[in-house]
Amino acid sequence: MIYVKGVNQDQKWDEINVGGNITEGGTALDVNTGDWRIMIPRFHEDKCKQCMLCFPVCPDSAIPVQNEKRLDFNFKHCKGCGVCFKVCPFEGAITWEKEDK
């Protein structure tokens, strides 16, 4: 069952947006792509120097930034690719491990 912003797959033809237009932005935020993960990155704030090199390399916009500080990962979207772990220049600020599910 898909359910987002008032659209679901039980709706009748005349209840769905004409021509498939999506009239809101960013509705994909409701999609949990986090369950694709095999590996998971961990954020260790105490070791982070807030250099910001990690947030732009994330293909999933899953490293939120507030007031020029990165926050913990958005695990709803993070697919665990490990690119952020690889670019992090500071030992232990991001670790990357097999996720226990």
Partner 1 sequence: MGIRRLLSGNEATATAMKQINPDVVAAYPITPSTEVVHYFSQYVADGEVDTEFVAVESEHSAMSACIGASAAGGRTATVTSACGLALMWELLYVASGQRLPMTLAVINRALSGPININNDHSDSMGARDSGWIQLYSENNQEAYDNYVMSWRISEHKDVLLPVMVCQDGFITSHAVENIELIEDEKVKEFVGEFKPERHLIDGGPLSVGPYDTPHFYFEHQYQRAQAMKRAKQVILDVSKEFAAMTGRGYGLFEEYKMADAERVIVVLNSSAGTAKVAADQLRAKGEKVGVLKLRVFRPFPHAEVAKALSNAKAVAVMDKCDSFNGMGGPVFVDVRTACYDLATRPQIVNYIYGLGGRDVTVDNFLYVYEKLTEIINSGTNTDDIYRHVGVRGVN
Partner 2 sequence: MAYNLKKESNKPERLTGGHRLCAGCGASVAVRGVLRAVNEEDKTVCGVATCCLEVSSVLFPFTAWQEGFIHCAFENVAATISGVESNYNALKRKGKITDNYKFIAFGGDGGTYDIGLQSLSGAMERGHDMVYVCYDNEAYMNTGLQRSSSTPKFAEVSTAPVGTKQAKGEMGVGKGQHKKDLTAIIVGHGVPYVAQTTFTNNFKDLHEKAYKAHYTPGPAFLNVLAPCPRGWRYPAEELMTITKLAVETCIWPLYEVEDGEWKLTYEPKKKLPVEDYLKLQGRFRHLFKKGNEWMIEDLQAHVDKKWEQLLKKCK
Which of 13, 66, 67, 100 is in the footprint of partner 1 by CB under 8 A?
Answer: 13
DSSP three-state, residue 49: coil
Number of residues that bind partner 2 (CB under 8 A): 47
Q: Is 71 in the site for partner 2 (CB under 8 A)?
A: no
Rounded CA gap, 98 and 74, in Å? 17
**Could you say which of partner 2, partner 1, none residue 18 binds, taking C-beta under 5 to 8 angstroms by partner kind?**
partner 1
Rounded CA gap, 76 and 74, in Å? 5
Q: To which residue do tokens 């009239």 refer?
A: 23
Q: Is 68 in the site for partner 1 (CB under 8 A)?
A: no
Residue 22: both structure tokens together: 């999506």
Q: Is 58 in the site for partner 2 (CB under 8 A)?
A: yes
Segment interacting with partner 1, rule: CB under 8 A, options 17-25, 30-38, 46-54, 62-70: 17-25
> Please, are residues 49 and 95 in contact by the beta-carbon 8 Å criterion?
no
Chain residues in the site for partner 1 (CB under 8 A): 2, 9, 11-14, 16, 18-26
